[in-house]
Amino acid sequence: MKKLYILFIAIALISSTSFAQKGLNIGLNGSYNAVSIVNQNTWGASNENGDVQEYDFDLTFGAGFGFDIGYNFDDKLGVYTGFRMMDLGNDYHDSYNWNGKDSKFDRKLKLSYNVIPVTFKFTGSKSTVNFIGGIGVLIAMMNKAEQTWTIDEEPYSAEYFNESTDKVYDVAATDVTDRFNSLDFIMNLELGARIFLIDNLYIDATMNFGYGLTDINHEDWHMINADGEYKASHNAFAGAKIGIAYVLFGEY
């Protein structure tokens, strides 16, 4: 996997160098997003009646940071790539009868990704503050998936049988990386402003929206929901991103 990261970055560097005379940009960025998993998968967790249990969604946040590198085709259009680390996932809660008493369940699912963005950006006039818009795909490679599942604030554990793997599993295991696909493609839209501080040095302040195009659940973990059917799960996020960058070569 590390070789794949290096290959993508090398391609980006070579491409940018080839078009350096049209404006090579490099910079750093950070983001903070409201994140969610559309269609939760509780991996067969059930209540005392044997019914599959689905939890209520909590408002969940995840951060990201990385660097950008790109070039401008002209003074308005450009293509950007780079490398980021992003946290996605979802938190859940619910209360129902367990072992003869009403119990509170909390579940936190954190998905950590290494991300290579491929984004086409449009920028307005050459004034100090400009409109900027971008659309592209985030190539998201899972680094790790971690879970915290509690009952009445105590660690929860329950064993079930997975017919796909022919093994018994702990539904509330901490490391659940193997239950997800290693790769996701996330459509990404960003809208905001580019603010020049001095010549060639600017800040991008944007709102970003993303939705995963693929099912994040590994095929061995396609478990039915409360309606008795399986539905694919998708990453989603919406939030703010701040970046600072410098135009190394060419003119903006």
186: β partners:
138, 212
| Each residue's pLDDT expressed in tens, for the chain with a length of 252 residues | 544 544 444 444 434 333 333 588 999 999 999 999 999 999 999 887 778 989 999 999 999 999 999 988 877 889 999 999 999 999 999 998 877 788 999 999 999 999 999 999 998 866 789 899 999 999 999 999 999 999 999 999 999 999 999 999 999 999 999 999 999 999 999 999 999 898 889 999 999 999 999 999 999 999 999 899 999 999 999 999 999 999 887 654
Write the pLDDT tens digit of every residue in 181-221. 999 999 999 999 999 898 889 999 999 999 999 999 999 99
Tell me, what's the pLDDT at 1? 53
Tell me, what's the pLDDT at 251? 53
Spatial distance between the Cα atoms of 47 and 99, rounded to a whole number of angstroms? 10
Q: What pTM did the predictor assign? A: 0.87
The continuous run of DSSP H or E covering 12 comes out as helix 2-18
Tell me, what's the pLDDT at 137? 98
Spatial distance between the Cα atoms of 84 and 90, rounded to a whole number of angstroms? 20
Q: Which of 75, 59, 70 is nearest to 15 (CA)?
A: 70
Class of domain 2-249: mainly beta
Give the amino acid at 34. Answer: A
Domain ranges, ordered by start, for the chain: 2-249
CA atoms within 13 A on the CB side of 140: 31
Q: List Cβ neighbours of 53 (8 Å cut-off, separation of 6 or more).
A: 42, 45, 46, 47, 94, 96, 226
